[in-house]
Amino acid sequence: MFYTFRPKGVCSQLMEIETEDGVVKSLSVMGGCSGNLQGIARLVEGMPVDEVIRRLDGVRCGFKDTSCPDQLAQALKACRAESEA
């Protein structure tokens, strides 16, 4: 499943996620801290969606209530909900 997500409250502008059988196949993030987000993308590829959510949900960036990793968790929750509908 391909899913496009527009993060809120962070520097990144767009996340394009591909999942298959509950596993993250690929992640591309536009905007934000390029090196960090490329690293996160490589780390989560091949990881179960539920594990990515468990690890990244609630991560904060400085004084913000969210972060790019947290927004990825939110994106994967939305993607999972859409695939279950």
Under 8 Å between Cβ of 72 and 40: yes
Predicted confidence (pLDDT) per residue in 28-78, tens digit: 999 999 999 999 999 999 999 999 999 999 999 999 999 999 999 999 999
Q: Tell me the three state secondary structure of residue 31.
A: strand
The structure's pTM equals 0.95
CATH level 3 topology of 2-84: Enolase-like; domain 1 (3.30.390)
Burial (Cβ within 10 Å: 0-12, 13-18, ≥19) of residue 13 = exposed
- Beta strands of the chain (E only): which ranges? 2-5, 12-20, 23-31
**Domain residue ranges in the chain:** 2-84
Here the tokens at position 17 are 């996620």
Here the tokens at position 53 are 């959510």
